[in-house]
Amino acid sequence: MKTPNLAAFAAAGALTLLVSACASTLSPPPVAQPDPALLSVIDSNVTNDCNPQTAAVLTGVGLPASNVRGVNYGIYRDEYRDKIIRWDAWVYLKDQPGSLVVTLDEDCRPIQVYAREGAKLPGR
């Protein structure tokens, strides 16, 4: 009679918990009808097809257009297909250091929004 390999079961259980914890922390960001003033500020800083979706996320988190100092996009490419696979919109704020980052997929669908380098999401 074979005895079960407890180390393998423990490792599988730990991996399952880790994956489920990661999956639960990455939920789609709130979106709302883009504030026209916010979209205008984004458009005045950078030209990108994802600007309306970026504005929708920023409107969803409650960022006022008057608080945007600048916007820029970072891209992620699939080097084998030479195709953009993700965008990061870096939103620089007037009232605090750091940035808000809106991550979008290659079709501009929002993936997440988070704060970096000392910034805080509105209302948090």
- On whether the pTM is more than 0.75, the answer is yes
pLDDT the model gives residue 68 = 97
Q: How far is CA 16 from the centre of its chain?
A: 24
**Tokens of residue 120, six digits:** 């805080």
φ/ψ (deg, to 5) at 53: -70, -35
- Predicted confidence at residue 11, as pLDDT, reads 53
**Cβ atoms of residues 116 and 98 within 8 Å:** yes
Count the alpha carbons within 13 Å of 47 in the hemisphere toward its beta carbon: 0
Which pLDDT score, from 0 to 100, does residue 21 have?
46
List the domain boundaries for the chain. 36-116
Ordered mean pLDDT values, 10 residues apiece, the chain (124 residues): 54 50 66 97 97 98 96 94 93 95 96 94 82
Instruction: State how far the Cα of 70 lies from the Cα of 75, in Å rounded to an integer.
Output: 17
- The domain made up of 36-116 has a fold known as Nuclear Transport Factor 2; Chain: A, (3.10.450)
